[in-house]
Amino acid sequence: MKNYVGVSGSFLKKPHCIILNKKHDILPFNDILPVEKLCQKYDTSLFVFTSHNKKRPNNVTIGRLFDGRLLDVFELGLESFESLSNIKNFTVSIGIKPVLVFLGDEFETVHTLKCLKNLFIDLFHQQETDVAHLSNIEYVITFACVDNKILLRTYRITMNKMGEKNFKVDLDSMGPFADLTLRRNIIASNDLFKKACVKPKIKTIDICYNFGKKIKNIKRDIFKSKLGRVHMTSQDVNKLQTRKMKGLKKARKTRNKN
C-alpha cells in the first residue's frame, strides 16, 4: 500500500503546504493518532492523505482538526483525473485567489455534502479579503454534484468589454479535472462544530486605553506604532551635560570673567 501525507495551514507562507513524500503506514479511519501527531508537529489543522490498494484504489482522505483532535474527515475515491500539465493553453498568475462555485442543491440539503462543502472552503481559501478587483479574478473552481459524484472542474476567466460598464465573461478549460465519489466519512457533532466555529475574544492590554477609556496624548499611526506626547518642565540648556571635547570647552577669557 502506497500512501503520502500533505499538511496545510495558515502559518505556512511559502509554500502554503508541506508534502511528505516518505511512505507512511497510516490508516486514518482505523487510527487517527499518527495523523494528529504529524499535524501537531507542523502546527497545522488541515491534512490531505492519499493511498492506493485493491480494496480502495486511488483514495484521497481530507480532514481537519480542532484543538489538536479530529473534527471531521472525508474519504473520496478518484475515478478520473486530468492534470494541469495536460492542458497547456492557459495559465494564471501565482498568488491569485480562486472563486469557489458549488453547483447542486445537495450541497445545501444533504448534511454530509454540506459539511464537505465547508471543508472544501477551508481547504482552498487562502486569505480573507473584503474588496476584490475584477482584474484579479482569473480562475474559478467549481464543484458539481451529479449522479452521486462530485465533479471538480477548473476554468480560466477572461473578461471582454462590451460597452463602458458591461463585460462578457468567458470560461476556458484549464485543469485540473477530477471525478470524486464519497466513500466514508466521520462528521463532528453539532455541539463540537459550534464550539469549533466560535471566535475567542482576545483580551489585549493596550497602552492607549485604560479599562475602555482612552488615555490622553497617546495615539497610533498607520503602522500601528504607539506615539506619545510627553510634557516636560522648562530646562536650562546651559546646564545640560554635553560630550567633553575640545571644541565645546570655553575659552580662558570667558572662564576668567565668570
Q: What is the pLDDT along the chain (258 residues), one digit of tens a residue?
A: 445 455 554 433 444 566 766 666 778 888 888 888 888 888 888 888 888 888 889 889 999 998 888 999 999 999 988 887 777 666 777 767 788 899 989 999 999 999 999 999 888 876 677 777 777 778 889 999 988 899 999 888 887 777 777 778 888 888 788 999 999 999 998 898 888 888 766 555 555 666 567 777 888 777 777 888 887 788 787 777 766 766 666 666 666 666
Tell me how far apart the alpha carbons of residues 75 and 183 are, in angstroms, rounded to a whole number. Answer: 5
Q: How many domains does the chain have?
A: 2
How many other CB atoms are there within 10 angstroms of residue 141's CB atom?
17
Beta-bridge partner residues of 21 = none
Looking at the structure, tell me whether residues 173 and 233 fall in a common domain. Answer: no
For residues 142 and 96, state if they share a domain: yes
Are residues 244 and 171 part of one domain?
A: no
247 lies in the same domain as 162: no
* 114 and 39 inside one domain: yes
Distance CA 178, CA 144 (A): 11
With respect to residue 187, please indicate whether it lies within any of the assigned structural domains: yes
Which residues, including other chains, have CB under 8 Å from residue 190's CB and lie 6 or more apart? none
| Eight-class DSSP state of 56 | S
* End-to-end CA gap in the chain: 97
Residue 203 domain flag? no
Tell whether 226 and 102 lie within a shared domain. Answer: no
Does one domain contain both 96 and 214? Answer: no
Cross-strand bridge partners of residue 20: 5
Bridge partner residues of 80 (DSSP): 179
Q: Is residue 202 part of a domain?
A: no
Is residue 92 in a domain? yes
> Of 176, 197, 218, which marks where a domain is finished?
197
Nearest CA to 61 out of 98, 86, 24, 94 is that of 24
User: Which three cell numbers, joined as nine digits, stand for 258?
Assistant: 565668570
Residue ranges making up the domain that contains 67 = 2-197
